[in-house]
Amino acid sequence: MLVFGHKNPDTDTVCSAIVMAHLQNKLGNPAQAVRLGDLNKETQYVLNHFNVEAPQLLEGSLEGKDVILVDHNEFGQSADGIGEATVKMVVDHHRIANFQTAEPLYFRAEPVGCTATILYKMFKENGVEVESKMAGLMLSAIVSDTLLFKSPTCTAEDETACRELAAMAGIDLNGYGMDMLKAGTDLSDYSAGQLLGIDAKVFPMGAATVEIAQINTVSIADMLTRKNELEAQMQAIISEKGLDLFVAVITDILNSNSQIIALGNRTDIVEKGFQVTLVENTALLEGVVSRKKQIVPVMDKSA
């Protein structure tokens, strides 16, 4: 059984795949975690900290293989050739779309902030002991997805789970959590293209096609020193993909604000949605940190 999260892997997707494979092995179902792309710096920091080996890159055909999906369900975000595999189980916290199976399966989605919060419940339900390393991976996933409980996607259940796991792993959440989030923002050696590719998704909004890329940072000012470079790259992506709008969201994880840079012929969607005026293509959105909860719905309405 192969276990994997989404393409463009983040900390929740990688940690949840490792933890789910561990849980399945404990339950007597041989399973192996794999990943669908390179690890980001935050995830590397987490695996180093808890001395856990990175999953191998998925290689070869999925035809006839049994798989478990974590942290995603849409086939478009999954492994190439996912339609050839037999999906035996899904554990996720996203909307459900573009997913189908021929047979009944175990599918569990809950509207919480992080997949690992659900996995932690599964350990309890199955009476499987949570080893310290696994607790470390799960708490890291929750810190990552909820920006240390600051994101509006965070539920009381996520926070409670994270604090229980921190006690098990002997982790000081505020200290470790901030170090981990900061590790993910050490992007000085990234090209503009890499920065925009860390966490980018395309959305249809009304008649417009919109790409929204999010970059976490501890200093918006530092990131803005590269504004010209980012804009040139955004313009290139707009032309290449025929986008109507590209929004780069630079999120200050310390102060919970986001600076956006918007380019394209439908920047009116941003100005109308957030009631701001773009000056030199940019504006500050105070208190905004979640693309899923605070950006996409607002823009969708004004598109």
Q: Contact residues for a second copy (CB under 8 A)?
A: 93-111, 125
Least distance in Å: CB of 290 to a second copy? Answer: 12
Cα dihedral 74, 78, 83, 86 sign: negative
Least distance in Å: CB of 111 to a second copy? Answer: 4
Least distance in Å: CB of 297 to a second copy? Answer: 9
Q: Which is nearer to a second copy, 27 or 96 (CB)?
A: 96
Q: Which is nearer to a second copy, 104 or 175 (CB)?
A: 104
Measuring CA to CA, which residue among 80, 73, 71 is closest to residue 118?
71
Q: Which is nearer to a second copy, 23 or 169 (CB)?
A: 23
The answer to whether 108 and 129 have CB atoms below 8 angstroms apart is: no
SS3 state of residue 59: coil
Least distance in Å: CB of 89 to a second copy? Answer: 9
Q: Which is nearer to a second copy, 100 or 275 (CB)?
A: 100
How many CB atoms neighbour CB 182 within 10 A? 17
**What b/e string do you get for 117-149 counting C-beta neighbours within 10 Å, with b at 16 or more?**
bbbbbebeeeeeebeebbbbbbbbbbbbbbbbb
Least distance in Å: CB of 142 to a second copy? Answer: 16
Q: Which is nearer to a second copy, 110 or 131 (CB)?
A: 110
Helix (H) or strand (E) holding 118: helix 115-126
